[in-house]
């Protein structure tokens, strides 16, 4: 059974259709990057999953439970981090967490231990007795994450957790997300900035004007959008012309471009086929200095998708 399932989920605000029939399935341990420009419908979708907005139509399920029919049961399974942090002037850090733990009906006796764990994970232990409004923006954001973890939810719904932070604080949030991934959490994390999510998402969905334009495992999306992989091959100057002439005749090679010192090859074959390219070069007498597959470039995918290069 999928852990999170959206079936034709739709939300209308009066005349505006914010989410237009969105379908999505997440298995336990999936980290789903929900990417799209402002106003695309990310927050609306996440709020429906978080039981805070009723879908106009369609179904959202968490662990098989229909969100609209049994919101209470769903709430104990999810940790929701909203895109805006509320003001809690008179709370100390530990009181803030204790308040939410109580709201989630965590037994009083278990709370101190859980609070310490959440503080440790978000590196806020030193700030336990500080007032919330004395924290830096980055710390507040981490505290907000600590709050979403306090009842040990299976699924985390994080709405732009790194937005508005300086580069250092962004890195801290990223590190934290990696730890949560390692803990086995299933995460939906939204962003309007792509590279931010690239290194730890297992799947991504790109949303525009309420519609998922593409969604799936990163590898599959790469294939769908780029038509395969990009190989970067370095050869000595004297062999470059030979290589450029030879490569287009190798099976699955779509194009060859010279970029600085390297040759960039658009390649539609599988990983197993890929070695044939290297063999062909060597048999052709080309000395190969390096041969590598270019890293997944989510930004590139995003640009191609939003430019309408994908039907």
Sites of contact with Mg ion (CB under 5 A): 42-43, 83
> CB-wise, 162 or 243, nearer to Mg ion?
162
2, 21, 28, 39: which one contacts ligand ADP (CB under 6 A)? Answer: 39
| Residue 13 binding result from ligand ADP, Mg ion, none, given CB thresholds of 5 to 8 Å by partner type | ligand ADP
| Residue 55 binding result from ligand ADP, Mg ion, none, given CB thresholds of 5 to 8 Å by partner type | none
> CB-wise, 39 or 216, nearer to ligand ADP?
39
Q: For residue 177, how many other CB atoms are within 10 A of its CB?
A: 24
Q: Which of residues 41-80 bind ligand ADP (CB under 6 A)?
A: 41-44
Cβ–Cβ < 8 Å for 26, 3: yes
| Residue 44 binding result from Mg ion, ligand ADP, none, given CB thresholds of 5 to 8 Å by partner type | ligand ADP
Check residue 205 for interaction with ligand ADP (CB under 6 A).
no
Check residue 15 for interaction with ligand ADP (CB under 6 A).
no
Check residue 13 for interaction with ligand ADP (CB under 6 A).
yes
Q: How far apart are the C-alpha atoms of 243 and 234, rounded to whole Å?
A: 10
Site track for ligand ADP across 16-35, x = CB under 6 A:
x-x-----------------
Q: How far apart are the C-alpha atoms of 286 and 279, rounded to whole Å?
A: 10
Cβ–Cβ < 8 Å for 231, 292: yes
Q: How far apart are the C-alpha atoms of 6 and 23, rounded to whole Å?
A: 5
Helices and strands: H and E segment counts in the chain = 11, 14
Give the start-end residues of each E strand in the chain: 4-13, 16-26, 31-35, 57-62, 65-66, 78-81, 155-159, 186-191, 203-208, 211-217, 229-234, 253-259, 262-267, 290-293
Q: How far apart are the C-alpha atoms of 68 and 11, rounded to whole Å?
A: 13
| Residue 40 binding result from ligand ADP, Mg ion, none, given CB thresholds of 5 to 8 Å by partner type | ligand ADP
Q: How far apart are the C-alpha atoms of 291 and 72, rounded to whole Å?
A: 54
| Residue 79 binding result from ligand ADP, Mg ion, none, given CB thresholds of 5 to 8 Å by partner type | none
> CB-wise, 145 or 235, nearer to Mg ion?
145
Q: How far apart are the C-alpha atoms of 96 and 108, rounded to whole Å?
A: 14
1, 38, 283, 308: which one contacts ligand ADP (CB under 6 A)? Answer: 38
Interface segment toward ligand ADP; rule CB under 6 A; list 39-47, 180-188, 227-235, 261-269: 39-47
Site of interaction with ligand ADP (CB under 6 A): 13, 16, 18, 36, 38-44
């Amino acid at each position: 059974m999928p852990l999170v399932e959206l079936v034709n989920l739709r939300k209308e605000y009066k005349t505006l259709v914010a989410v237009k029939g969105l379908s999505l399935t997440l298995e336990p341990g999936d980290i789903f990057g929900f990417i799209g420009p402002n106003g695309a419908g990310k927050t609306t979708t996440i709020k429906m999953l978080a039981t805070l907005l009723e879908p106009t139509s369609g179904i959202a399920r968490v662990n098989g439970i229909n969100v609209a029919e049994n919101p209470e049961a769903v709430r104990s399974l999810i940790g929701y981090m909203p895109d805006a942090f509320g003001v809690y002037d008179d709370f100390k850090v530990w009181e803030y967490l204790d308040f939410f733990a109580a709201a989630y009906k965590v037994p009083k006796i278990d709370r101190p231990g859980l609070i310490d764990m959440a503080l440790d994970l978000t590196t806020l232990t030193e700030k336990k007795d500080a007032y919330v409004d004395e924290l830096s923006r980055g710390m507040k954001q981490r505290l907000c994450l600590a709050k979403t973890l306090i009842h040990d939810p299976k699924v985390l719904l994080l709405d732009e957790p790194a937005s508005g932070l300086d580069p250092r604080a962004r890195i801290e949030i990223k590190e934290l997300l990696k730890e949560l991934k390692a803990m086995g959490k299933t995460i939906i994390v939204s962003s309007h900035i792509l590279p931010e999510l690239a290194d730890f998402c297992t799947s991504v969905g790109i949303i525009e004007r309420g519609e998922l334009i593409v969604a799936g495992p990163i590898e599959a999306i790469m294939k769908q959008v780029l038509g395969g992989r990009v190989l970067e091959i370095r050869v000595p100057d004297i062999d470059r012309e030979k290589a450029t002439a030879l490569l287009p005749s190798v099976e699955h090679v779509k194009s060859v471009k010279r970029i600085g010192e390297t040759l960039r090859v658009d390649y539609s074959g599988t990983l197993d086929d890929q070695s044939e390219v290297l063999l062909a070069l060597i048999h052709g007498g080309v000395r190969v200095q390096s041969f590598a597959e270019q890293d997944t470039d989510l930004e590139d995918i995003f640009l191609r998708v939003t430019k309408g290069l994908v039907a």
